[in-house]
Amino acid sequence: MSTQLTAKGAATRARIVETAADLILARGVGGTSLDDIRAGTATSKSQLFHYFPGGKNDLVAAIAAFQAERVLAAQQPFLDTLDSWEAWAGWRDSVVAHYGSQPHWGCPIGAMTSELINTDPTHAAAVTAYMDRWRGYLRDGLERMRDAGLLRADADPERLAISVFASLHGGLLLTQTTASIAPLEAALDGALAMLHAAAA
Amino acid sequence: MSTQLTAKGAATRARIVETAADLILARGVGGTSLDDIRAGTATSKSQLFHYFPGGKNDLVAAIAAFQAERVLAAQQPFLDTLDSWEAWAGWRDSVVAHYGSQPHWGCPIGAMTSELINTDPTHAAAVTAYMDRWRGYLRDGLERMRDAGLLRADADPERLAISVFASLHGGLLLTQTTASIAPLEAALDGALAMLHAAAA
DNA sequence: ACATGAATGGACTGACCGGTCCATACGTAC
DNA sequence: GTACGTATGGACCGGTCAGTCCATTCATGT
């Protein structure tokens, strides 16, 4: 990335990432060609390679980072303060609201993960890092709750966080297959019930 | 499918499906070419089209059915008798054992679902039907448990089944990203804790 | 205005892939 | 043994895709 970017160039690059992210979310990495992206962004082939010298790989990496930031940002206010039962309920509602308002069902990161994990270890590692960070917020909140006496002393925040995280992503997978937000709600409610079962 | 199959032909067809299923499980539908399958099965291009006249679509459909049956068969003895807490614990262990013994991480059906849902509605519908059937076993068991007084009368078997199913598939997704069976165990234990919270 | 480098357009290429086609080998019924 | 249908081999075709290349336009500093 030795080339300089003018304001115009940066805007074009950002436009490419955003639009391509939606295209890939809708049709998958393998199902989206550079020509699709070129058409969708009103750019030319040379621009794609100008801004992403590494070609599709570069672009996919940028999109993965963009998607991950977007997903985490939407929950950020809640993720930072998961130290009370009310906060968890609020997080649950914000997750449902966020994924219910998306033009597509399912989780952008989860979908890319399962598609790339078997074909592109480099990208998969990057995406996995985002998922770990995400799950870390849940664990940290549970840890604080345990230390505050809201959870039983023998509760395992890491393990509980994994379980909640699995419910979340499983629920998101089911929203895809059913084209409905209901499974996500059921999954998250189940996860919260599970947490309450570990209350002090 | 008007052609006749001799015993030899049926054996070849079965060999193609089994081997191709493993290839696709390892590298995805889009990441597996007919040439890969041809090489992996020691057959020729014409045989693939001889046994699957509809081409790759036909083959993928056959593989999806094969995978689904394989997965359900592995749990069948447990799925039919999910009407006690002991049975659920046994199911949990059998699921962990089954997915832990696979050469690859994650769920064959889940992976195909999320890959095909955006590109091939026909296959996605077939795979979704299998997932519904699978989830139905869980719901039926919970219904029997509620009727037997093991669950609270106001428990919603359908909703609980969705939640457990989501935990299962979320856990399987995490086994992929972490290359470890631990997340699945945590997810299933969480799901069982959630069920116990609905006990009478 | 002119020079420099970024931004853009789009034709072109080589590889890959799904699918077709024809030729050959095999097996079985008569 | 011969005739017919299945099983198999592999060359070939047309389309698509990622990636290359060169020409042109635009913006900016001097």
Q: Is the C-beta of residue B61 closer than 7 Å to nucleic acid chain C? A: no
Mean pLDDT of chain B: 94
Burial of A46 (0-12, 13-18, 19+ CB in 10 A): exposed
B131 → closest Cβ in A131, A177, A198: A177
What distances in angstroms separate CA B82 from CA A186, B90, B92, B165, B198, one per listed residue? 20, 9, 11, 14, 15
Residue keyed to tokens 């994990």: A117
> In terms of Cα–Cα distance, which of A65, A36, A38, A33 is closest to A51?
A38
Q: How far is A10 from chain B (nearest CA, A)?
A: 31
What pLDDT, on the 0 to 100 scale, is given for residue A98?
Answer: 94
Is the confidence at residue A30, as pLDDT, over 70?
yes
Enter the pTM of the model.
Answer: 0.94
| Straight-line distance from the first to the last Cα atom of chain A, in angstroms, rounded to the nearest whole number | 53
Nucleotides of C under 7 A from a protein CB: 5-12, 16-23, 27-28
Q: Is the C-beta of residue B118 closer than 7 Å to nucleic acid chain D? A: no
What pLDDT, on the 0 to 100 scale, is given for residue A5?
Answer: 81
What pLDDT, on the 0 to 100 scale, is given for residue A35?
Answer: 97
CA B162 to chain centre: 15
Mean pLDDT of A147-152: 97
* pLDDT tens for each residue of A85-137: 999 999 999 999 999 999 889 998 988 998 998 888 889 899 999 999 999 99
Residue percentage of chain B with pLDDT more than 70: 98
Q: Is the C-beta of residue A5 closer than 7 Å to nucleic acid chain C? A: yes
Is the confidence at residue B3, as pLDDT, over 50?
yes
Q: Torsion angle, CA of B183/B187/B189/B195, rounded to 10 degrees?
A: 180
Burial of A166 (0-12, 13-18, 19+ CB in 10 A): buried
pLDDT band at A2 (very low <50, low <70, confident <90, very high): very low
Q: How many residues are given for chain B?
A: 200
Checking each nucleotide's C1' against the CA of A50, the nearest proves to be C7
> In terms of Cα–Cα distance, which of A94, A109, A132 is closest to A21?
A109
H helices within A103-152, ranges in order? 108-116, 121-147
> In terms of Cα–Cα distance, which of A103, A28, A113, A34 is closest to B120?
A28
Q: At what angle do helices B85-101 and B56-79 cross, to 10 degrees?
A: 140
Q: How far is A176 from chain B (nearest CA, A)?
A: 8
Q: Torsion angle, CA of B195/B138/B166/B178, rounded to 10 degrees?
A: 90
> In terms of Cα–Cα distance, which of A184, A68, A91, A191 is closest to A141?
A91
Q: Which residues pair with A199 in a beta bridge?
A: A151
Is the confidence at residue A77, as pLDDT, over 80?
yes
Is the confidence at residue A39, as pLDDT, over 70?
yes
What pLDDT, on the 0 to 100 scale, is given for residue B2?
Answer: 45
CA of A9 to C1' of D23 (A): 20
